[in-house]
Amino acid sequence: MTHLLRCLACGQIFPDTYLLSCPNGCNSLLRAEYSAKHITIHPIPGIFKYKDWLPVHDTLTTKAEPVCYKSSHLARVMGLSRLWIVFSGYWPEKSALVLSGSFKEFEAFPTVQRMKECVSGVIQVASAGNTGRAFAEVSAQTGQPVIIVIPQSAHDRIWTTRPAPHVLLITISGDYTDAINLGNKICSIPGICPEGGAKNVARRDGMGTVMLAGTVNIGHLPDLYVQAVGSGTGGIAAYEASLRLIEDGRFGTKMPRLLLFQNEPFIPLVRAWQEKRQDVRDEDMPDAKRAIAQVFSDVLTNRTPPYGIAGGLFDALVATDGIMGGVTTSEAEEAGKIFLSQEGIDLDPAAAVCVAGLLKSVQSGIINPDETVLLNITGGGYESGKRDLSRYEKEPDIIATKDTPFEIISLKIKEWIILYV
Ligand SMILES: *Cc1c(COP(=O)(O)O)cnc(C)c1O
Ligand SMILES: [Zn+2]
């Protein structure tokens, strides 16, 4: 056994049968406990070099992994003496080869592999962008089947760098919530499993490789971990990876603080945490539809984040003495330009939000300029990707509206799934 799963509410331990929640019905996340307490970095390209702390037995072939380097230019502009950047996108000059362009690919590879090892079935993902594209790319690279449900308006975001014949792409009229609802219904078809979001240990520990890459390169845990969040899963993942690194014993004992940002005007997590409340309320997202339509980075607009659940973002913020803040769109746009001019690569809008947040935190004195800062650039390099890589735009296999009877969708899916299950 490489790992077991522990419920963070009742404490019970379970073997990994692709569980996404506690069989006792606890409102909690499960956490993977690995038999390897000291991590060995395996000499292979891609995130599976961290397989000791991924919930998989075998590895998939990929060159995608977080790349860490010490910043000099941006660090000088910001007035930080120990700024380390983890770049999770496409930047071949730095050996950053995340073909779909964001750190969602670190979640998708181990998730697909875990599912393949635990159950026979096909994985279903509902996404408005980066997650769907990441799973499509993993399917294109590995041949694993994936069902992706997206709002019709997000159609142009699903492309791959190789043909993706084993992706079943479904578009639905409406927004992200409509895609999630249809996705949930689809998971009632035998042989189809939800990817589970934050509840999937493979997604969290895949994102946790950012903290692993940062710490191994720096030589010790950073004082601060900085990221823009929508669900906050990346923050939870960074915290859990830090727990393992502390237990490892070679990287220091001080838990890094989480410093997390959202894009105004949609900042429910910031509001809840500022009042140190354990629940996100409707009043934290007034006029949500309009607010979501206004942000620069819509991957940061999750309405049902894993915040109050045991082991969720609230617990991670408490344990790390975390800080959250909001960033305006104009601040983010400005920060994106600074990053491009200083470090030389274009950013995903979410990463620009993160850079703006860090800049504000230094200016307001929240950060001591000599602290070791790990800045997670969660996506970027789309311009280089456009230049270097082939791009296959995925045509939808099923085009649904809210009026399409589910039986019709279900029938088409059943015809397709026979090929795989
Ligand atoms: C999804 C996403 C985020 C937010 O991630 P969470 O940790 O799930 O909140 C940040 N940046 C990019 C580029 C993303 O795609
Ligand atoms: Zn439990």
Give residue 101's region: left, alpha or beta (phi > 0; psi -120 to 50). Answer: left
Contact, 179 vs 150, CB < 8 A?
yes
Provide, rounded to the nearest whole percent, the portion of the chain with pLDDT above 90. 92
Query: Is pLDDT of 47 > 70?
Result: yes
Is 299's C-beta closer than 6 angstroms to any atom of ligand 1? yes
Cα 404 to ligand 1 centroid, rounded to whole Å? 31
Nearest 10 degrees: Cα torsion 19, 113, 260, 384: -160
Q: Which residue bears the tokens 């990287």? A: 251
pLDDT in tens, 163-205: 999 999 999 998 888 899 999 999 999 999 999 999 999 999 9
Is 130's C-beta closer than 6 angstroms to any atom of ligand 1? yes
State the pTM of this model.
Answer: 0.97
Q: Give the domains, in start order, of the chain with CATH numbers.
A: 67-100+203-384 (3.40.50.1100), 122-190+391-417 (3.40.50.1100)
Q: Is 53 helix (H, G, I), strand (E, B) or coil?
A: helix
259-263 average pLDDT score: 98
From the CA of 309, the nearest ligand is: 2
63-83 average pLDDT score: 98
pLDDT in tens, 302-314: 889 999 999 999 9
DSSP calls for 351-380: HHHHHHHHHHHHHTTSS-TTSEEEEEE-BB
Distance between CA atoms of residues 320 and 239, nearest Å: 7
Cα 108 to ligand 1 centroid, rounded to whole Å? 13
pLDDT, position 293: 86
Is 151's C-beta closer than 6 angstroms to any atom of ligand 1? no
Cα 310 to ligand 2 centroid, rounded to whole Å? 10
DSSP calls for 249-278: SSS-SPPPEEEEEEETT--HHHHHHHTT-S
Picking from 28, 50, 41, 168, the residue whose alpha carbon sits closest to that of residue 109 is 50
Going by the DSSP 8-state scheme, the letter that residue 394 receives in this structure is: P
Token pair of 177 as six digits: 């919530």
Query: Is pLDDT of 49 > 90?
Result: yes
Token pair of 22 as six digits: 């506690």
Cα 332 to ligand 1 centroid, rounded to whole Å? 15
Cα 110 to ligand 1 centroid, rounded to whole Å? 17
Q: Which atom of ligand 1 is nearest to the CA of 237?
A: 7
Distance between CA atoms of residues 418 and 229, nearest Å: 38
Q: Which atom of ligand 1 is nearest to the CA of 102?
A: 13
pLDDT in tens, 113-142: 999 998 888 999 998 789 999 999 999 999
The pLDDT-based confidence of 155 (bands split at 50, 70, 90) is confident
From the CA of 130, the nearest ligand is: 1
How much is the mean pLDDT over the chain?
A: 96
pLDDT, position 395: 93
pLDDT, position 178: 87
Count Cβ neighbours within 10 Å for each residue of 71-80 and write b for 16 or more, e otherwise: beebbebbeb
Picking from 209, 193, 26, 60, the residue whose alpha carbon sits closest to that of residue 138 is 60
Task: Provide CB contacts within 8 A for 205, sequence distance 6+.
Answer: 32, 53, 54, 55, 110, 237, 240, 241
pLDDT, position 129: 85
Provide, rounded to the nearest whole percent, the portion of the chain with pLDDT above 70. 100
207-220 average pLDDT score: 98
Query: Is pLDDT of 406 > 90?
Result: yes
Query: Is pLDDT of 1 > 70?
Result: no
57-61 average pLDDT score: 96
Q: Whose CA is nearest to atom 7 of ligand 1?
A: 234
Q: Which atom of ligand 1 is nearest to the CA of 198?
A: 8
Cα 297 to ligand 1 centroid, rounded to whole Å? 10
Is 301's C-beta closer than 6 angstroms to any atom of ligand 1? no
